[in-house]
Chain A
């Protein structure tokens, strides 16, 4: 069964550094998402992406964040200048369509900012 994959599984970076988290969504899916979960808190929506542009974003997704689909398979989340509070588990997801369609989640990337 097709799965969403994410790399790396764990990334450690220093405050102020740029990080890129990578995801390979399921190949025939059209919608792509990033969520994050700070330790002990709820899973929070960051952004959704469709037709090569952001279709919805949360207030968390400020100018420090960007997303890109650089080729036909990868979907990336870039954090330009990491802060301590960006430490979290980041989940990528994809779906065939929006709304009632199932979002398929990746295993997550644990980002630790020191």
Chain B
């Protein structure tokens, strides 16, 4: 059974804190993604990575950075958390070798910045 896990389901942080969100997949997928999900806006791509140590900016990268030191792990970093980063964060992975491009999502981390 394919699995994408995220380090926390719920997280509360203070403004200005550095926040790490971790994602691990066990499917040996090359591609990994970080999205944020907000009501009425759907899922918006923050960053994606198509290989170890490789990263590409998505639609809303400002205020975020990522790290991919190992194939199975993709980390999202909020250098200095702000209240407008309160959101649901979803990690996903996929394999470019698959014809259907299917993405597998983790359960999400609901981050609240106070």
Q: Do A and B come from one complex?
A: no
Interface residue ranges, B against A (CB under 8 Å): none
